[in-house]
Structure 1
């Protein structure tokens, strides 16, 4: 029996700041394109698209301290800001939850307690860095120092943002407290550990053998590198007062133990609201679990989360694909929330109202699928004006204007097709399959490129045929208008995964409904079909608006 069920998860954004273009380009746009396509592929496919705010961990408490607020106030502020940005930008999850919910606390602690009861985790006393001034143990982002790998002077106790290495506080050279700036001392504390080393063989088979040929090179390579070094037990509790508490032991769960379980708790929350059974989405072996993440989270999704699922022995499926892009930089510098260097989505939506698809287009066409890439405001302006406005928008506008002028907005009966037109119409029906294949292969840039090639063909065809110079009684004119509108119709059907707001406008103008991908035919608009009112698809980006954005970065 063919698989028809997909659980698609997008990495939980940290509720310590707004989302930026790097988040969209790395995780949320790829996931959104894939889900939109799956929903349109055929009638049988069922997709569940899950996300939520990650509301625990040190970055949140640091932000709270900076803003003189409680961690709860911080997560409330950013949870709703992030959620609204996704909705306005056209990224629609089936359920967007948060890890501060009671249901998440219940589910994540149940995993811990099951592992504890079955002796699949162990406790150990060790010496950890401690800030004497603030009387606090320093884990993750509470401690910084020199990265042992790239020698970056501002690496954190969990990760180096410069080289992407996952670190432990004891790896740092010349460590210091990020709370007080003081040099910490070592002090004894007890924690519970997940023995990753005991799952080395399981992970080697699952990743290095079973997924050698079908995982992205960067994901497979990073996971392989971790396995090659040999896995070590990892602490899954923290001495913090912000997190999912395990009251019996007076600790909180390590954020990277409980956050991935958030995908499951979010699904359960969705199922309760919809009065559905959540288990087929997580426990049916035929269901495909597809996870879109940031490249700095590869180890947590490919090593730690699968071990938690395996160790729990509760019948959970493992990810079929874990997908991570490289980083998107801004004007040649790394995007950083802490340094306020970014293009923030809530600000973009205010500065460029109703131009969500312009940013979607630029981010997809520049998506860092195989290597780090750059976002430049001048490039944003150029691509919008020369591609969206001058090619796609221009072709659609000219085609619809001509048919309204010469045929009262009614699709004409064509005459005899030229060789060129026969070739265009023959190739037209290949586009859904070709674009579909690229999306299913997670080659989103190429898929968008293929879509834009069709717009270019239409634009070139119309320009060379010059129907505006013809007599309205000529049959040749009818043929040109008919062919042009078939291309416009195909663009309307295929644009939705990439440009959903534009797709809505196009379908409304053409008075078309959305077809399933496998039902898109060569003749989308039959003779006699009446078109709706014209709508402007795109507007030019001015020098003034770009200069304003560049000034913000100064």
Structure 2
């Protein structure tokens, strides 16, 4: 016997309503309590489990793919796998219910077979590996094999799906490897991009478009145009802000040049990102911070850079997270970021390696926003190869595009597919060769 107790005053938000988890049964059955306030509508969602709502009190309506029905205390509503549903309280008191859900593999497969293939292409991205080393077993068993299997599954079920990736040539970690090899970043990037592509081929991992960013003449022009558009965003300011410098050499420190303790979770972290929790950092806010260039404690100075104010983006971020079916870990990450007031993330860094940031002498576009725009460019490049008119500025020519990403950094792992919205998704670390 097991007993669960919950408090109606300690509910958490899920799918736009208040929910409390009541535990999981021995046969894989899950239970939760839900409360929908008057006038509130839950967010539409679908999943692979069978689910039942047992209405305890109140009244309202349930909408599904098949229509709308009224519900009241004593009613039990059963949902098949992948059946989209929305719960609305149109009464004057709280609508309280118990949610029971369980998995039935055969029922889910039968339901999935009835789902029509989307009338738009689906692009599955695996994290572009940093070409500073060949792929190791963790990379292969994570994002690349996962994306390959997922893409093949979609195509076998009639969807027009493509697996896209490439080499993240302008990552700062390429410079670190070049220094160690007494080589140049360009030579290192070319060499390991070829190694990575060969290894994926040996794995029989089907890549429909592998983008060599350094080897595509139009890629730089595309990035400049995207960066120019980004600077016009109301969420971006160009201003002087704190930055970290080596006390002996005076070098600007970011990413592999600096390490310390994550300001969010306290774990050991590199510059600008924590591999443990996925939270960004600003380098100067790391605890027990250390420079790669000398033993002296780094110094805080100021640099004029464009920065993205996350506070101005949370409305759009929330909308995206709801639509993408992001895993709980990602939702938790953004909840924690909201608690860090005035968090603005630099979009450029002073460096000799990278795509030049227009109007900012000696600075390059940070590899992370570059990667985001690179996804769009890769779709456009694949379209050219296939004779399709997929253009970044003209989404209406193909209808709404579905993009799924399989990454290995906790802060960017998303699975977004028109077929279903999973309750959770696997996460891992970002592949970056040898760092």
Q: Which bracket does the TM-score occupy, shorter chain normalised?
A: 0.5 to 0.7
Q: Which residue of 233, 238, 249 maps to 1:123?
A: 238
- 2:37 aligned residue: none
TM-aligned CA distance change 1:164 to 1:120, over 3 Å: closer
Q: CA deviation at 1:281?
A: 11
Determine if contact 1:139/1:158 at 8 Å carries over to the other structure: yes
- 2:132 aligned residue: 16
Distance (whole Å) between structure 2 residues aligned to residue 335 and residue 3 of structure 1: 30
Q: Secondary structure at the match of 1:74?
A: helix
TM-aligned CA distance change 1:266 to 1:187, over 3 Å: same
Q: CA deviation at 1:202?
A: 2.4
Where do residues 433-512 of structure 1 align in structure 2 (5 Å cutoff)?
none
Q: CA deviation at 1:93?
A: 1.0
Determine if contact 1:53/1:96 at 8 Å carries over to the other structure: yes
TM superposition score normalised by structure 1? 0.51
Q: Which residue of 316, 322, 332 maps to 1:221?
A: 332
Distance (whole Å) between structure 1 residues aligned to residue 393 and residue 425 of structure 2: 22
Determine if contact 1:298/1:324 at 8 Å carries over to the other structure: no
Which segments of 5 or more consecutive residues in structure 1 lack a partner in the other structure?
Answer: 307-316, 329-333, 340-554
Residues 1:199 and 2:313 are matched in the alignment: yes
Deviations 1:141-197 (A, max 9, x none): 211123345544x52122233554432202212322112333222222100112221
- 1:361 aligned residue: none
Residues 1:265 and 2:380 are matched in the alignment: no
Where do residues 214-363 of structure 1 align in structure 2 (5 Å cutoff)?
214-227=325-338, 229=340, 232-250=343-361, 251-279=363-391, 283=395, 284-298=398-412, 325-327=426-428, 338=434
Determine if contact 1:139/1:157 at 8 Å carries over to the other structure: yes
Deviations 1:407-436 (A, max 9, x none): xxxxxxxxxxxxxxxxxxxxxxxxxxxxxx
Q: Which residue of 283, 288, 294 maps to 1:180?
A: 294
TM superposition score normalised by structure 2? 0.64
Residues 1:39 and 2:155 are matched in the alignment: yes
Structure number having the greater helix percentage? 1
- 2:208 aligned residue: 94
- 1:7 aligned residue: 123
Deviations 1:57-76 (A, max 9, x none): 22111111111111111111
Determine if contact 2:235/2:310 at 8 Å carries over to the other structure: no
Distance (whole Å) between structure 2 residues aligned to residue 67 and residue 194 of structure 1: 35
Determine if contact 1:10/1:292 at 8 Å carries over to the other structure: yes
Where do residues 397-416 of structure 1 align in structure 2 (5 Å cutoff)?
none
TM-aligned CA distance change 1:247 to 1:132, over 3 Å: farther
Query: Which of 59-68 and 80-89 deviates more?
Result: 59-68
Query: Which of 28-37 and 231-240 deviates more?
Result: 231-240
Q: CA deviation at 1:123?
A: 0.6
Distance (whole Å) between structure 2 residues aligned to residue 217 and residue 247 of structure 1: 37
Which segments of 5 or more consecutive residues in structure 2 lack a partner in the other structure?
Answer: 1-115
TM-aligned CA distance change 1:51 to 1:149, over 3 Å: same
Alignment root-mean-square deviation, CA? 3.4
Q: CA deviation at 1:2?
A: 6.1
